[in-house]
Amino acid sequence: MIARHVQITLTLLLVAVVGIGLYMYRLERKTEEEMRRASDIRSVAPPVNGPTGKITLAIAYDEDGVFRQQQAQAALPSDPGERSREILRTLVSEYTQRPSPHPLASGSDINDVYVLNGDLAVVDTNGAFADSHPSGVLVEDFTLFSMIETLALNMPEIKRVKIIVNGRERSTLAGHADLSPVFDVATIHQAVENLR
């Protein structure tokens, strides 16, 4: 027979362990929710002026290792930078929906696109786009290829693309894809054509 005071002590210990477990579970859920909300914050851009029109997206399919074109609707302002930003935002929003053939983290966004000298697009992504991007050579390259090819399909005057994160250069997207070069659109187009 176990002494009464030992039974009471064991019962109290069991209640304490269950209570701490429930507290830790709640704390973990709260932290996950806060992180989700923080990554879901998108920059608030002013309303886009311009007609809505059809665009062509170069959608990456990770499992098949291919690209397919898909039609979509987007606001098409007259300014080349704003137009490019809206085109890429439409692409990113396709990837943040679930299910997605090439999933990106919720909260991924394009801050802005700057078109310089009429043929160079500098694409400024937000932190969530890069910080929460799935890691791997193929998925990172597919993201870059998809963005550059989508710009090429809709903005033929763009010949070169540079990708930055929150207004700054970054060495890699998520550890593999090199973000330091200025990408040649024709070279990326040829790579995508080989993966159709």
Q: What is the pLDDT of residues 99-137, one digit of tens each?
A: 888 888 888 899 999 999 989 999 999 988 888 887 777
- 11 within a domain of the structure (yes/no): yes
The answer to whether residue 47 sits within a structural domain is no
Name residues of the chain where pLDDT drops below 70: 35-49
pLDDT of residue 136: 78
* Number of alpha carbons in the 13 Å side-chain half-sphere of residue 119: 7
Instruction: Kindly state whether residues 97 and 164 are assigned to the same domain.
Output: yes
Say whether both 86 and 134 belong to one domain.
Answer: yes
135 and 185 assigned to the same domain = yes
| DSSP one-letter code for 134 | P
**Domain count of the chain?**
2
- What pLDDT shows up at residue 102? 86
Q: How far apart are CA 141 and CA 118, in angstroms?
A: 25
In this structure, the answer to whether residues 4 and 81 fall within a common structural domain is no
Q: Is residue 46 a part of any domain in this protein?
A: no
Asked if the structure places residue 44 within a domain, the reply is no
Which candidate, 169, 196, 156, places its Cα nearest to that of 66? 196
> Residues near 190 by Cβ (< 8 Å), separated by ≥ 6?
none
Strand partners, 121: 115, 161
- Please indicate, yes or no, if residue 95 is contained in any of the structural domains: yes
Is 45 part of a structural domain of the chain? no
Same domain, 173 and 111: yes
Looking at the structure, tell me whether residues 31 and 56 fall in a common domain.
Answer: no
Report how far residue 78's alpha carbon sits from residue 57's, in angstroms, rounded to the nearest whole number. Answer: 19
The rounded distance, in Å, linking the Cα atoms of 155 and 145 is 15
Q: Is residue 23 part of a domain?
A: yes
Task: Please check whether residues 24 and 108 belong to one and the same domain.
Answer: no
Range of the domain at 168: 52-193
What distance in Å separates the CA atoms of residue 126 and residue 172, rounded to the nearest whole number? 14
Residues 106, 78 share a domain: yes
User: 0.85 exceeded by the pTM?
Assistant: no
- Same domain for 118 and 181? yes
Strand partners, 123: 113, 163
